[in-house]
């Protein structure tokens, strides 16, 4: 039997119940025109993901159930599978199975992720029932996200109970290489279950995370049948041939009961279905997989665009210094929002070099954006005058450097307040890790675009973008001159930090991989250097706690993904 | 049989494995001198609570096990019960039972809290074994914190298996009235189990939370036998008379097996014990319960003191405006740190009133602290000059107000950077809720002392403190003049906000109790006013995300206790 499925990889907004409902209904309408049998939406499509503590508000749950009702009423006879929040002994991360304008059944997620950026045990209780649905003799199971990552999990239980196909709905956040990890895991489930698996993912940016779409279907041999685009909202249509196998054999059922915990059960639910008329051929979608810098860059664009738009801003403002970080951020902003919505401000001081000036203006011209100049020296002198009585006899140092950075922060925020532009900060992950940044200075702003991008990758991204452009969109000199904060004479980042190609691998080992001091030394790292770096990371937690959110692109970002105490006397070296 | 127990309500520091170990050993030494049979320490005493993602570092777990080894080796023949992190199929929140320099047994916490400020499912797996220990015929059970909050939980299981006493170790965070809630819950367990319960709590501040001590023992009738002081590190000694009841009867054991899940078990463990010699009488401790403002004020003092000291600061700096918030914070700081370690800065502008000036200086004199004056108008003019070209034709407004607040933030941070003082911010919970504060301005600083104190309570605290002093330590006028940010001519908080006695109950209902819009209106609240307040709360999440941590004193504080998306289009009105 051939069944036509529409994978709706939509971009909902957290909390926008009515907007999300409208979007879902409009996708159902589109799918109906293609004579689709089953239309599938992501996990928590009604609420967006993650709704966080909105889930603790009873009114929010109620309103989400009203949204579901609207979807049920508006779905027509098409079978609709959609994520929502169900209510019972507690809250459930749930999938509605709708047909013929009726809510036929609800599946509750069994495996609740509570690691990394996830907090699902904070809100949900686990599901304990693993139904198999049948339409016209075809049997299939539905489950949710994390469920598919577990061996002997819901998919296996459903397959053992005769499911000939599994539909898995997701809100699976992006990090580099995640898509191949997903395919690998789902392929294992195919091998375990012997049936095709339909994997539908969400798309869009939500605060720190980006859902990258890339929905796919694996056939019973583990081959990719269709693949949706990454980072784009779309419908993917697929016709799946499934062999009806009938009910579970007695022997299989015995094995099944051993897989269920005491409080868990299986059952079978018939889903009303009418043959679709007027079915025309559909185009088979097989999106090209992005890779390397193209993938990361796409994540940064979508994350930035969605943060700015979903929060209702009409434009952004960026302090452009002529350095590589702000050059990359301005380029991403223009690619995400269009040149008319990006405003640059160049804020030279007595320490700003001619090269910085030239590079910032050349780059702004290449991007086609306006770059205002506001020198900060007059304001800086006013501060020094006011403080001179109390700072008399002290050596100028970090204090005076920070005052300059904070003047720039204040100016950017003044433009933000005056014109309603969001300030994008330009700090990279290497800086955020070691605290090489000024709180309320260059850290001041609403969104930290490249917060999770190590400095060495900042260069790679710039090079990739220039190559794509076929010319030096970002001036070549920006990519080879020594990085400097230009907050005192002849300053270089390497006065304070090891060179980035040395620093970044240590940071990856320590921050992302929880390597021990010994393991880090075994990487060939100098003892003093490793100690210094680890100590800097440990001592900058207070800065990171006050940093704006930014886009997660690595397996472990700062923010919800890495939760450290500020008060912390542990030293691993 | 009479058994002597020492409840060690210690103040560990998160991550300070060697410091905590030394502290534990020194308390054991003190207890030994009193011929104590069992010495009891709080939950996760080796690591401090909560260690958060330090727990994901294998080296940290290893080091904590080394600490436990030192405690075992140094404990002598005294029976020691101490919280630590155990390792097995996963990590366990564990209690070591040590006797005669041997680790006799380990109990694993069954009920892992994952709500409010807690994230225990992120780190731990639940315990499945509920042993009963016997010394010289006396049988007792040990369990951990949340375990005691559950009916038919570990305490009941242990009692049914013949435990004649329960020892429950805790790291239970403070909020107003929590101590009576705890006694009430533990009394229910006494009624359920029919045995005395020893409740040992941690004490001390850790970032946003304060552990308030107040350890206690309830006898088998639910009467308080001893009670430790709140907010103070101490040892409480108690002699408990327990009636040895012998092993579990067969009938009871049948009921017991019904209470256990499939994978759970009970057993009995003999603990070596030698009669203590030279036992002298001990003083019965029955600390007075603090109440109302005295309790809150004590929490604020301990939270501030521990944050400052545990993070290695030698002093603090506070922007004193002559308003009630900064007056309260300066008073708390002096009470917590001593006058020599508190530095005030008065930063007048063209909008600062004579009253503000007088009140700030009178108060500083009363406190005996130095108050520097740094006018901000020169700097403000320098900003306006630099921005004039671009802001020409616009009306002065929030932008210009924020510039002033951010100049003050920059000045305070300059003193922080120059002299190593921590900046204490002075915003209260009402302001934090509605976003009536300037990011990087008055919100700039390391610790937000009264972040969880509603404005109406700020007044109550000041009045209580003045009453305690027996004079107007905080000038009377501060307590009755209209609150104003003094950022434009004749500004009053009520230009923007409802009066605080109207605002605060709405905020409590919406922020702390998740009340619906309808329920808030039913409180007798004006529709427009409720909408405005809710909208302000919803739209300030981005500010709160960048706010410094502050001390939790209510059932729900901002920070880890309330996790909201910034990107959030949900409107409950």
* Predicted confidence (pLDDT) per residue in A407-438, tens digit: 999 999 999 999 999 999 999 999 999 999 99
Q: For residues B265 and B132, is the Cβ–Cβ distance under 8 A?
A: no
Measured at the CA of B504, the angle between CA B498 and CA B507, to 5 degrees, comes to 100
- Taking one residue from A and the other from B, the number of pairs with CB-CB distance under 8 angstroms is 236
Mutate to test the interface with B, among A112, A126, A347, A414 (most CBs of B within 10 A): A414
Residue whose C-alpha is closest to residue B465's, from B331, B288, B329: B331
**Please, which residues 46-85 of chain B have a Cβ atom closer than 8 Å to chain A?**
50-54, 56-60, 63
Class of the domain covering B2-270: alpha beta
Give dist(CA A511, CA A559) in Å, integer: 12
CA A230 to chain centre: 12
pLDDT at A262: 85
Give Rg (Cα) of chain A: 27
- How do residues B449-489 score in pLDDT, each as one tens digit? 999 999 999 999 999 999 999 999 999 999 999 999 999 99
Q: In this model, does residue A275 exceed pLDDT 90?
A: no
pLDDT of residue A2: 86
Packing angle, helices B354-367 and B324-337, rounded to 10: 10
Question: Would residue A89 show up in a list of annotated catalytic residues for this protein?
Answer: no
Q: Is A64 exposed, middle or buried (0-12, 13-18, 19+ CB in 10 A)?
A: buried
Is A291 touching B (CB cutoff 8 A)? no
Residue B30 is predicted with a pLDDT of 96
Tokens of B276: 């203590």
Q: Is A376 on the interface with B (CB under 8 A)?
A: yes
- What are the tokens at B301? 């003092």
Whether the CB of A384 is below 8 Å from some CB of chain B: the reply is no
Question: If you measure CA to CA, which chain A residue comes closest to B112?
Answer: A121
d(CA A31, CA A9): 12
Give the mean model confidence (pLDDT) for residues A468-492: 94
| Active-site residue (options: B43, B120, B401, B486) | B43
The CA distance from A85 to B70, in Å, is 49
Question: Closest Cα partner for B197 from B213, B180, B212, B218?
Answer: B218
Residue with tokens 């308390």: B27
% of chain A with per-residue pLDDT over 70: 98
Q: Collect all residues of chain B within an 8 Å Cβ-Cβ radius of residue A414.
A: 383, 387, 391, 399, 402-403
Which spans in B112-207 are helix H?
A: 154-160, 178-193
Return the closest-CA partner of residue B568 out of B543, B538, B547, B544. B538
Give chain A's count of helices (H) and strands (E): 17, 20
Q: Give the up-direction half-sphere exposure of residue A457: CA atoms within 13 A in the CB hemisphere.
A: 23
Which pLDDT does position A250 carry in this prediction?
57
Nearest CA in chain B to A548: B546
Overall residue count recorded for chain A in this entry: 573
pLDDT > 90: percent of chain B = 91
Task: Give yes or no for residue B247 having a pLDDT over 70.
Answer: no
A8 is catalytic: no
Q: Is the pLDDT of residue B251 over 70?
A: no
**How much is the pLDDT for A249?**
54
Structural domain boundaries in chain B: 2-270, 292-493
Q: Which CATH fold topology does B292-493 show?
A: Rossmann fold (3.40.50)
Q: Residue B94, CB half-sphere, CA atoms under 13 Å: how many?
A: 23
Per residue in B506-541, pLDDT tens? 999 999 999 999 999 999 999 999 999 999 999 999
Residue A254, pLDDT > 90, answer no
Give the pLDDT of residue B244.
63
- All residues of chain B having their beta carbon less than 8 Å from the beta carbon of residue A407 are 410
Taking only the tens place, the pLDDT of each residue in A360-379 is 999 999 999 999 999 999 99
User: Is B573 within 8 Å of chain A by CB?
Assistant: no
Answer whether B133's CB lies under 8 Å from B169's CB. no
CA–CA gap between residue A353 and residue A403 (Å, rounded):
19
Mean pLDDT of A89-100: 97
B16 interaction partners in chain A (CB closer than 8 Å):
569-570
Nearest neighbour of A514 by CB, restricted to B57, B115, B399: B57
CB–CB contact B399 A409 (8 Å): no
Q: Which CATH class is domain A292-492?
A: alpha beta
Would you call A567 an interface residue with chain B, using a CB distance cutoff of 8 Å?
A: yes
A16 CB neighbours in chain B (<8 A) are: 569-570
Residue A206: partners with Cβ closer than 8 Å, 6 or more residues away: A14, A48, A49, A50, A306, A310, B565, B567
Q: For residue B241, which of B274, B219, B271, B272 has the smallest C-alpha distance?
A: B219
Residue A93, phi then psi, degrees to nearest 5: -80, 110
Using the CB atoms, write b or e for B462-490: b if 16+ within 10 Å.
bebbbeeeeebbbbeebeebebbbbbbee
What is the average pLDDT score of chain A? Answer: 95
Are the C-beta atoms of A215 and A201 separated by less than 8 Å?
yes
Residue A246: pLDDT above 80? Answer: no
What is the predicted pLDDT for the residue at A375?
97
Q: Cβ–Cβ of B410/A407 closer than 8 Å? A: yes
> Are B94 and B109 in contact, with CB atoms under 8 Å apart?
yes
A262 contact residues in B (CB cutoff 8 A): 261-262
Tens of pLDDT, residues B304-325: 999 999 999 989 999 999 999 9
Q: Which of A311, A383, A569 sits opposite B13 (nearest CB)?
A: A569
**Is B109 a known active-site residue?**
yes
Per CB-CB distance under 8 Å, the chain B contacts of A310 are 567, 569
pLDDT value for A278:
75
Closest by Cβ to A440, choosing from B207, B413, B517: B413
Segment among A468-472, B174-178, B256-260 with least mean pLDDT = B256-260
Flag whether residue A375 sits within 8 Å of chain B, measured between CB atoms: yes
3-state secondary structure at position A241: strand
- B310 and chain A: CB distance < 8 Å anywhere? yes
For B336-372, the pLDDT digits (tens) are 999 999 999 999 999 999 999 999 999 999 999 999 9
* A115 confidence band (pLDDT: 50, 70, 90): very high
Closest CA to A70 of A21, A116, A117, A16: A21
Mean pLDDT to the nearest integer, B49-67 = 98
- Single out the residue of B250, B265, B196 nearest to residue B226, CA to CA: B196
Residue B221 contacts by C-beta under 8 Å, 6 or more apart in sequence? B190
Q: What is the pTM of this model?
A: 0.96
Which of A14, A114, A415 shows the shortest C-beta gap to B567?
Answer: A14
Which of the four pLDDT bands, split at 50, 70 and 90, describes residue B250? Answer: low
Residue A244: per-residue pLDDT: 63
Task: Please identify among residues 182-241 of chain A the ones whose CB lies closer than 8 Å to any CB of chain B.
Answer: 205-207
Mark yes or no for CB contact A440/B50 under 8 Å: no
Residue B100 pLDDT grade (very low, low, confident, very high; cuts 50, 70, 90): very high
Among A244-253, A292-301, A474-483, B112-121, name the one with the lowest average pLDDT.
A244-253
**Chain A residues touching B555 at Cβ < 8 A:** none
Q: Do domains A2-270 and A292-492 have the same CATH topology?
A: no
Which pLDDT score is estimated for B207? 98
Q: Which residues of B touch A566 (CB under 8 A)?
A: 207, 311, 549
CB-based contact A379 B383, cutoff 8 Å: yes
Taking the CA of residue B542 and the nearest CA in chain A, the distance in Å comes to 7
pLDDT given at position B555: 97
pLDDT band at A500 (very low <50, low <70, confident <90, very high): very high
Which chain B residues contact residue A537 at CB under 8 A? Answer: none
Of B8, B120, B145, B305, the catalytic one is: B145
pLDDT tens digits for B374-419? 999 999 999 999 999 999 999 999 999 999 999 999 999 999 999 9
pLDDT at residue B217, rounded to an integer: 98
CB contact under 8 A, B398 and A417: yes
Residue of chain B minimizing CA distance to A380: B379
- Chain A segment 496-555 residues within 8 A of B by beta carbon are 514, 516-517, 542, 545-549
Closest chain B CA to residue A121: B114
Complex-level ipTM: 0.96
Mean pLDDT of chain B: 95
C-beta of residue A112 within 8 angstroms of C-beta of residue A85: no
Q: B36 near B276, Cβ under 8 Å?
A: yes
Chain A interface includes B309 (CB < 8 A): no
Phi and psi, residue B188, nearest 5°: -60, -40
Burial class (CB in 10 A: 0-12, 13-18, 19+), A481: middle
Residue from the list A382, A446, A567 with its beta carbon closest to the beta carbon of B206 = A567
Contact A548 B545 (CB under 8 A): yes
Going A306 to A308 to A311 to A313, the CA torsion angle's sign is negative
């Amino acid at each position: 039997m051939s069944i036509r499925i529409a994978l709706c990889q939509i971009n909902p907004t957290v909390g926008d119940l009515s907007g999300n409902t409208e979007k879902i209904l409009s996708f159902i309408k589109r799918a109906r025109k293609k004579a689709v049998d089953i239309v599938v939406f992501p996990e928590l499509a009604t609420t967006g993901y993650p709704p966080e503590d909105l889930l603790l508000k009873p009114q929010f749950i109620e309103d989400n159930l009203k949204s579901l009702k609207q979807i049920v009423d508006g779905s027509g006879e098409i079978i609709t599978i959609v994520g929502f929040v169900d209510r019972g002994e507690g809250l459930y991360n749930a999938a509605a199975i709708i047909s013929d304008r009726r809510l036929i059944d609800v599946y509750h997620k069994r495996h609740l992720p509570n690691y990394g950026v996830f907090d699902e045990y904070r809100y949900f209780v686990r599901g304990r029932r693993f139904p198999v649905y049948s339409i016209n003799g075809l049997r299939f199971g539905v489950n949710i996200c994390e469920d598919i990552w577990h061996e002997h999990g819901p998919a296996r239980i459903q397959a053992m109970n005769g499911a000939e196909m599994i539909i898995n709905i997701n809100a699976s956040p992006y990090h580099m290489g995640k898509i191949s990890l997903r395919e690998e895991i789902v392929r294992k489930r195919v091998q375990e279950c012997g049936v095709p698996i339909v994997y539908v993912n969400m798309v869009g940016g939500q605060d720190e995370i980006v859902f990258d779409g890339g929905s796919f279907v694996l056939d019973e041999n583990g081959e990719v049948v269709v693949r949706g685009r990454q980072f784009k909202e779309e419908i993917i249509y697929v016709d799946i041939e499934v062999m009806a196998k009938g009910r579970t054999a007695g022997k299989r059922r015995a094995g099944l009961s051993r897989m269920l915990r005491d409080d868990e059960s299986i059952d079978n639910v018939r889903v009303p279905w009418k043959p679709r008329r007027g079915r025309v051929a559909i185009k088979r979608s097989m999106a090209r997989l992005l890779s390397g810098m193209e993938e990361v860059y796409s994540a940064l664009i979508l994350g930035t665009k969605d943060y700015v738009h979903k929060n209702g801003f009409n434009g952004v403002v960026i302090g452009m210094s002529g350095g590589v970080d702000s050059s990359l951020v301005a380029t991403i902003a223009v690619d995400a929002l269009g040149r008319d919505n990006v405003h640059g401000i160049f804020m030279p001081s007595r320490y700003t070099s001619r090269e910085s000036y030239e590079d910032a203006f050349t780059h702004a011209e290449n991007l086609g954006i306006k770059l205002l100049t506001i020198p900060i020296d007059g304001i800086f002198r006013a501060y020094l005058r006011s403080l001179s009585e109390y700072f008399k006899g002290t050596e100028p140092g970090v204090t005076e450097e920070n005052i300059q950075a904070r003047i720039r922060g204040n100016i950017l925020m003044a433009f933000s307040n005056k014109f309603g532009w969001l300030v994008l900060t330009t700090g990279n992950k290497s800086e955020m890790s070691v605290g090489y940044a000024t709180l309320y200075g260059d850290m001041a702003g609403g969104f930290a675009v490249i917060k999770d991008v190590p400095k060495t990758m900042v260069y790679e991204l710039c090079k990739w973008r220039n190559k794509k452009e076929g010319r030096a969109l970002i001036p070549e000199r920006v990519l080879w001159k020594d990085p400097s904060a230009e907050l005192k004479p002849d300053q270089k980042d390497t006065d304070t930090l090891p060179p980035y190609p040395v620093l970044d691998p240590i940071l990856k080992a320590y921050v992302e991989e929880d390597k021990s001091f010994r393991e880090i030394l075994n990487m060939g790292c100098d003892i003093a250097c490793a100690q210094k770096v680890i100590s800097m990371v440990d001592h900058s937690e207070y800065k990171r706690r006050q940093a704006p959110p930014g886009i997660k692109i690595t397996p472990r970002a700062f923010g919800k993904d890495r939760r450290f105490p500020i008060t912390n006397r542990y030293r691993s070296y």
